[in-house]
Structure 1
């Protein structure tokens, strides 16, 4: 190999290395820029993230409990299908929230006396906890009554309880979508709020079709 060709080879290698270094520095700079622009992406969970995941899991599981009764107590295909959809989607969401809590090293349920404390100020005072339950939750007496019903009587009470349940869950989710720190928590909370608001309209329409009205809040 001539001295000229050897020199060309060295220069070409240097250009390749310089280009690779330049690309690496560009990527590092871009990553740093994203980090500075979106500081909350790496932030840890706050009381809202944790409390929402704990309390919404409990809230969802009551909806699943009610929905699972429909298969054996309702004769209405539309009610059974809606109940199946609610149970399936909310169980999947519970799995996600419990998974986050496990990764954060937090208990799956809020400690005694800490239920709904993540909703502060006026939101907490309006949260429906005066009766000892989260917003929209059915009482033990209402659940006992639902378990005793069949046919159209079951359908009406199920739709009434689920309408109120969704309205309460939506209010919790809207708060978390606005106040949570962890992006995936905000995203799920927003999706829950949107889907439950849409399902409330379906539930109310189904009640109207059965000559029934939603329950009062409480």
Structure 2
């Protein structure tokens, strides 16, 4: 029942997020970011990145009865679904595409900094060839869905630790490169919130006799 009610909470958060997009109005008009800007690139890439975190959270929900892990997954799903709604709402408001134009690679908006932040999925534990830093590969998602109990908990915490590290790197880049004040504030909040969760997940792994992969 908690997760059924959670779906309603996610919807409410998405609606609340949509109500905030007016603060980020700005394409062709003063204050509107261009298609190739850091603001637009971050919104597109982080929306994709967050979607996978929500997916992994719902996978582990069905693989364990541990209340601490389920509570963490619930919080991550709610928070990142809300933030994803805000990012996609801004792209709609700016009348910008949700897919990078012209085959532009993810993280191109970071410029040379993308290399230092694992722009090719080779850092923060992400598999080589991953779409963005920290994102799990298809085989890893399949494996998560096949595990149960403590093994599922540990693998989820490891995957989400990698995922959060990728999120933090991207959010730090936006906080530095983005120009829309509301988006910069959101990015700063992501850094603070996910660094806190990284500490929590490190402790949860230690309690299970495990540690982050990187």
The reply to whether TM is greater than 0.5 is yes
Corresponding residue of 1:117: 108
Deviations along 1:52-109, one digit per CA (max 9) or x if unpaired, are: 0000000000000000112211121000000000000100011000000001111223
* Contact kept? 1:44, 1:181, Cα under 8 Å: no
Corresponding residue of 1:85: 75
Q: When the two structures are aligned, how many residues end up with a matched partner?
A: 174
Distance 1:110 1:141 in 2: 25
Distance 1:96 1:125 in 2: 27
Higher Cα Rg: structure 1 or 2? 1
* Contact kept? 1:58, 1:109, Cα under 8 Å: no
Q: CA deviation at 1:129?
A: 3.1
Q: How does 1:5-24 map to 2 (within 5 A)?
A: none
Distance 1:208 1:137 in 2: 22
* Contact kept? 2:64, 2:70, Cα under 8 Å: yes
Distance 1:176 1:44 in 2: 16
Distance 1:77 1:109 in 2: 37
Q: CA deviation at 1:113?
A: 3.2
Q: How does 1:205-216 map to 2 (within 5 A)?
A: 205-216=203-214
Corresponding residue of 2:45: 55
Determine which of 116, 119, 122 is the counterpart of 1:126: 116
User: Any unmatched runs of 5+ in structure 1?
Assistant: 1-41
* Contact kept? 1:127, 1:134, Cα under 8 Å: no
TM-score normalised over the length of structure 1: 0.77
TM-score normalised over the length of structure 2: 0.78
Distance 2:117 2:172 in 1: 12
SS at match of 1:129: coil
Corresponding residue of 2:158: 160
User: Any unmatched runs of 5+ in structure 2?
Assistant: 1-29, 121-127
Distance 1:86 1:193 in 2: 14
Matched, 1:189 2:187: yes
CA RMSD of the aligned region, Å? 1.2
* Contact kept? 1:52, 1:176, Cα under 8 Å: yes
SS at match of 2:110: coil
Matched, 1:69 2:59: yes
Distance 2:99 2:186 in 1: 18
Distance 1:175 1:194 in 2: 14
Corresponding residue of 1:138: 136
Whichever structure has more helix as a proportion of its residues is: 1
SS at match of 1:194: helix
